[in-house]
Homo-oligomer: A and B are copies of this chain.
């Protein structure tokens, strides 16, 4: 992966380390992790380096550790063995990697204990590496979402840094967004030739792989849009179906895109599908129009909730006064998740830290019906990247729940709702960079208008 080191990347990394050093006097040790075994030790899942490591080291070096102190980086890793050279080819020496990485010094892993005393860390996801972290530091490590002491202070410093994307990050996020747009266009074009969800997924991930990226998360490509995290692809495509497609590419250095479109398999919207699509699109557009530094992301969420409530009242699905319906969270019957989340090196950026990144200090996740899945609750700042992803779903687990049916008996016109039974789920999701004057939609090259989507299906 060392062919990714460029002078620009080196400059970006140096700046990030300096900023961390300015914020935190404690020394820091970050592990990259290792690839977990799949069905046997030599057949492992693809390696994904820890995002906190990647932020400062730039490149996914496997089984490596960086020591950060006062703006300097020290690299700890093993040199490749002769057996490595046989099976994996020749690789640059640790010294050469350290050089390209701008490291002040470099040592084998056995030397880690020399710098472990008092160092802060973030536990990685890989269990084997986490054992190594505990051994080196000589103390137990819990989950990354429940840190204490110097580790919590490090996490808070990381959140402060990583909430605002620098130019290097924005360039990588834009590249992931561009490939994702291409993948969605390929999926749209493939739909009329495809017999199954799997064939559309395959056409889209082909674009991502051919672009030397990987999916940033398990693709959702489903005629059952009401299943929010559907990860099966075996359903056949039938003319009346909507296909909900949530697919994003990940840049080789880790930066994610996260995009959803929903389109009709037949190439034509039914009247009911188009009507709901327009409601979701109105919410999407209203949210994006409001984005600017200083606005509360929670208010963006409420903008979506309001637009959806108004739309469903206008269609006769919801009954009553918009303000009252919203107060009762009636919109959450059809829009049960939050309007989006932070986007960065992780598709839900820094979610390994729990709500530390998503929620401003002092704020806690609400248990309210309409707010429990809001992943981001902060005022927006210039340089933040977030998703905007309103949706409408008919989830049996919600709509057939007897408590919900009692509570909301006076809000829903069930007979009218039956007219929309060919709308299982619709979501429209884009990736947005907050700018000084408003925002820039990184994925704006992918159409959202109902008729433009149909054009893409024909191409």
Q: Which of A374-425 contact B (CB under 8 A)?
A: 395-398, 401
How far is A36 from B44 in the complex, measured between Cα atoms in Å?
Answer: 11
Q: A336-B86, A346-B40 are in contact. Are A234 and B3 (CB under 8 A)?
A: yes
Q: Contact between B198 and A202 (Cβ–Cβ < 8 Å)?
A: no
How far is A202 from B331 in the complex, measured between Cα atoms in Å?
Answer: 41
A345 at the interface (CB under 8 A from B): yes
A72 at the interface (CB under 8 A from B): no
A191 at the interface (CB under 8 A from B): no
Q: Contact between A39 and B233 (Cβ–Cβ < 8 Å)?
A: no
**Closest Cβ neighbor of A4 among chain B residues:** B234
A362 at the interface (CB under 8 A from B): no
Q: Nearest chain B CB to A155's CB is how many angstroms away? A: 13
Q: Contact between A211 and B228 (Cβ–Cβ < 8 Å)?
A: no
**A121-129, A274-282, A301-309, A430-438 - interface stretch:** A121-129
Chain A interface size, as a band, is 35 or more
Q: Which residues of B contact A401 (CB under 8 A)?
A: 82
**A259-267, A313-321, A322-330, A347-355 - interface stretch:** A347-355
Q: Contact between A202 and B196 (Cβ–Cβ < 8 Å)?
A: no
Q: Contact between A38 and B230 (Cβ–Cβ < 8 Å)?
A: no
Q: A50-B39, A351-B40 are in contact. Are A198 and B212 (CB under 8 A)?
A: yes
Q: Contact between B209 and A41 (Cβ–Cβ < 8 Å)?
A: no
Q: Contact between B41 and A352 (Cβ–Cβ < 8 Å)?
A: yes
Encode A194-232 as 1/0 by CB contact (under 8 A) with B. Answer: 001011011101111111100001100000101111111
Q: Which residues of B contact A207 (CB under 8 A)?
A: 202
**Closest Cβ neighbor of A222 among chain B residues:** B89
A294 at the interface (CB under 8 A from B): no
How far is A114 from B350 in the complex, measured between Cα atoms in Å?
Answer: 41
Which of B88, B199, B218, B397 lies in contact with A230, CB distance below 8 A?
A: B88
Q: Contact between A212 and B228 (Cβ–Cβ < 8 Å)?
A: no
How far is A211 from B218 in the complex, measured between Cα atoms in Å?
Answer: 17
Q: Nearest chain B CB to A453's CB is how many angstroms away? A: 22
Q: Contact between A209 and B198 (Cβ–Cβ < 8 Å)?
A: yes
Q: Nearest chain B CB to A95's CB is how many angstroms away? A: 19
**Closest Cβ neighbor of A398 among chain B residues:** B86
Q: Which residues of B contact A348 (CB under 8 A)?
A: 40, 42-43
How far is A39 from B218 in the complex, measured between Cα atoms in Å?
Answer: 12
Q: Contact between B38 and A125 (Cβ–Cβ < 8 Å)?
A: yes
**Closest Cβ neighbor of A54 among chain B residues:** B39
Encode A288-313 as 1/0 by CB contact (under 8 A) with B. Answer: 00000000000000000000000000
A135 at the interface (CB under 8 A from B): no
Q: Which residues of B contact A128 (CB under 8 A)?
A: 127
Q: Contact between A86 and B202 (Cβ–Cβ < 8 Å)?
A: no
Residue among A39, A210, A212, A346 having the largest count of chain B Cβ atoms under 10 Å: A39
Q: Which residues of B contact A90 (CB under 8 A)?
A: 396-397
A171 at the interface (CB under 8 A from B): no
Q: Nearest chain B CB to A29's CB is how many angstroms away? A: 18
Which of B88, B201, B233 lies in contact with A229, CB distance below 8 A?
A: B88
Q: Nearest chain B CB to A35's CB is how many angstroms away? A: 9
Q: Nearest chain B CB to A40's CB is how many angstroms away? A: 4
Q: Which residues of B contact A44 (CB under 8 A)?
A: 218
Q: Contact between A233 and B212 (Cβ–Cβ < 8 Å)?
A: yes
Q: Which residues of B contact A209 (CB under 8 A)?
A: 198, 201-202, 205, 233
Which of B41, B87, B206, B228 lies in contact with A206, CB distance below 8 A?
A: B206
A108 at the interface (CB under 8 A from B): no
Q: Nearest chain B CB to A147's CB is how many angstroms away? A: 14
Q: Which residues of B contact A345 (CB under 8 A)?
A: 39
A273 at the interface (CB under 8 A from B): no
How far is A397 from B82 in the complex, measured between Cα atoms in Å?
Answer: 7
Which of B38, B43, B203, B217 lies in contact with A43, CB distance below 8 A?
A: B217
29 contacts between A and B (CB under 8 A): A3-B234, A36-B36, A36-B126, A37-B126, A39-B48, A39-B345, A39-B346, A39-B352, A40-B51, A41-B352, A43-B217, A43-B351, A82-B397, A82-B401, A85-B396, A86-B228, A86-B397, A88-B227, A88-B229, A88-B230, A88-B231, A90-B396, A196-B210, A198-B209, A198-B212, A202-B207, A202-B208, A205-B206, A212-B234
5 tightest A-B CB contacts, nearest first: A127-B127, A89-B227, A85-B397, A202-B209, A202-B210
